[in-house]
Structure 1
């Protein structure tokens, strides 16, 4: 973490013509990729909060592409706020402040920073606690899709090469795994890695199913969030309903099922992706049902019947993919996902694979619940 003098120099670029005093700089622990800080500033007549964020260059190689996508999202959102009925948009999205008067990012050496307006009277969650929260997330994700489903593909850039390309993640993993020297791992860690590897091998037929589905040309594509996990939904302090959807770094054009599957993955593991005890890790059907009720509350369906018949496949794919990404990151030395201890990404992969096995065991019931909305 930088010292306060270094932070002050970065913040100064966003407020060149203003007199102010920095009151506090606190790291926000939520989020696995970018370094994020809550800043409070005194301008004399007002005190405002902002979110300062460092972009992880290990993940995002073209930071201005992120900001281009965000600009397109903001413009489209503002247009829809005017043109859509007031009760059809149940959320807001983040807006940012330019650096040096005109640039969307501040660059210090090779590091890029940006400053967002703080969304007042809201809170975030790492895990879902109630069916009401799961319902609200489902309802808001449908609202998000309703707003952005007609944003043209040519307006958006791909934020990460091969993002959500499960086959490529698997190929990269196998190449890495075959080069790993297990002599450097103690027996316990080696055993855990090998068990995770066995789960990857046992479920790789999912890739064949995914290829068939993608090649069918029947899936619904649109501008999607790309990473709609629980912590990217902010809840209103008074109503406890979703009031904002944040972190649009992965906003791009792709299958709508990616958003739905990833959101379900995050919601329905009540102990979160950092669960310490794998025996407590399970897929919560009550939260799953609540999410579906929320998403399909409005009868204006965005998904086709073909999409809906493949929800459970994408649920398994997205969990399988994330487990592979966590394990890969552990094996390369934890360069992508933030950690608090060395084996955290290994543990995260185990949580995902355990959730996958739980879903496989309950697939019939899961599909039955989905079919109620067709």
Structure 2
């Protein structure tokens, strides 16, 4: 792969193959990401997973539109974070489409950047939530309908439940019997569908990040201040309750999302409170009353839905998420369902931080 990148991809960007360093970067589930360094610069190069992103041109066009919008805001002092922006090829294109050899795009590398996979302190949670809130607040004036849907019905719990039911019915890898407990649990939570149906029509469409994991907010390692929001692949129109929910999902547990130490997987109340403070400090005046009321539902839906997606992929033979060992997606699913249970157990105390009536 490294030799292929040097010989077949980098020339499109005018980067010499000799004396150029190419190394894997990050631990994403979907795309293959590399850091490229040479004597005159550095950039991040990605091979997009076109099995997941079936319209990759729409993805890079969305990302460019958002980057240019934020850069414009930044020049006017209305956006304080660094902006991850596309690097065009020598002939001005946003990507390199090599057919079966991959769809490649480059973005600027931010020096001094640092990411974390598990939130250790309330201050980290507050800073990241505030940064995601700042990102969404800056984009609140962008017409969300201008963005293409890169994955149709991405955060659509009814559809995800249907996919799980289909996977159970097919049982393509004869795995249902080994995880029946989690299958039954997931399918027993469909009361959320009624809540979703009742509130969704009341919510405005916003430009959403749709993947607000803790490692998609970069810290500046020099002082651990917020540096940038990255991974704009799933930015499209949607409801902000899902961005809030994904922060809860990825910030609140003291364990990584594939940890098998389920006895330690729980929602840390102090971290949840820090998320609410940080996020609402930027969006409190932007959110409608209905949007604020939807945030608790978003937290529950995302935790359940990601568990359902991991479980479905496990039953289908691990065709969507990258795995590193047998039963990896099942372990991820069990982890997310355990976190979801913790949310339900603490509903009274956690919802108090959202101040829905305020």
- TM-score tier (shorter): over 0.9
Equivalent positions of 1:83-162 (< 5 A) are 83=76, 86=77, 88-110=78-100, 111-162=102-153
TM-score computed with the length of structure 1 as normaliser: 0.90
102-111 or 51-60: which moved more? 102-111
Summarize deviations over 1:157-198 as a string: whole Å, max 9, x none.
00102211111111111012111167x44xxx833x211112
Matched, 1:273 2:257: yes
Give the 3-state SS of the residue equivalent to 1:213 in structure 2: helix
* Cα 1:369/1:72, change in 2 over 3 Å: same
* Cα 1:139/1:29, change in 2 over 3 Å: closer
Matched, 1:341 2:325: yes
Equivalents in 2 of 1:312, 1:331: separation in Å? 29
Instruction: Report what 1:36 is aligned to.
Output: 33
Measured after TM superposition, the shift of residue 350 of structure 1 is 0.6
* Cα 1:372/1:160, change in 2 over 3 Å: closer
Matched, 1:190 2:177: yes
Equivalents in 2 of 1:237, 1:70: separation in Å? 25
Match of 2:272 among 284, 288, 292: 288
* Cα 1:373/1:144, change in 2 over 3 Å: farther
Measured after TM superposition, the shift of residue 100 of structure 1 is 4.2
Measured after TM superposition, the shift of residue 19 of structure 1 is 5.0
* Cα 1:68/1:6, change in 2 over 3 Å: closer
100-109 or 297-306: which moved more? 297-306
Equivalents in 2 of 1:79, 1:26: separation in Å? 32
Give the 3-state SS of the residue equivalent to 1:144 in structure 2: helix
Structure 2 portions without partners, runs of 5+:
none
Q: Contact 1:30 / 1:126 at 8 angstroms: preserved in 2?
A: no
Instruction: Report what 2:12 is aligned to.
Output: 13
Equivalents in 2 of 1:372, 1:255: separation in Å? 17
Equivalents in 2 of 1:299, 1:309: separation in Å? 13
Match of 2:20 among 23, 29, 35: 23
Give the 3-state SS of the residue equivalent to 2:281 in structure 1: coil
Matched, 1:324 2:308: yes
TM-score computed with the length of structure 2 as normaliser: 0.94
Matched, 1:52 2:42: no
Matched, 1:206 2:205: no
267-276 or 290-299: which moved more? 290-299
Equivalents in 1 of 2:283, 2:261: separation in Å? 40
Instruction: Report what 1:263 is aligned to.
Output: 247
Give the 3-state SS of the residue equivalent to 2:30 in structure 1: coil
Q: Contact 1:24 / 1:40 at 8 angstroms: preserved in 2?
A: yes
Structure 1 portions without partners, runs of 5+:
none
Equivalents in 1 of 2:65, 2:325: separation in Å? 37
Instruction: Report what 1:180 is aligned to.
Output: 171
Equivalents in 2 of 1:72, 1:306: separation in Å? 28
Q: Contact 1:320 / 1:356 at 8 angstroms: preserved in 2?
A: yes
Equivalents in 2 of 1:38, 1:8: separation in Å? 16
Measured after TM superposition, the shift of residue 49 of structure 1 is 2.1
Summarize deviations over 1:219-263 as a string: whole Å, max 9, x none.
232111111111100000122121000000100011111111111
Equivalents in 1 of 2:213, 2:357: separation in Å? 23
Instruction: Report what 1:352 is aligned to.
Output: 336
Instruction: Report what 1:166 is aligned to.
Output: 157
Instruction: Report what 1:73 is aligned to.
Output: 66
Equivalents in 1 of 2:17, 2:169: separation in Å? 55
Measured after TM superposition, the shift of residue 306 of structure 1 is 2.0
Give the 3-state SS of the residue equivalent to 2:104 in structure 1: strand
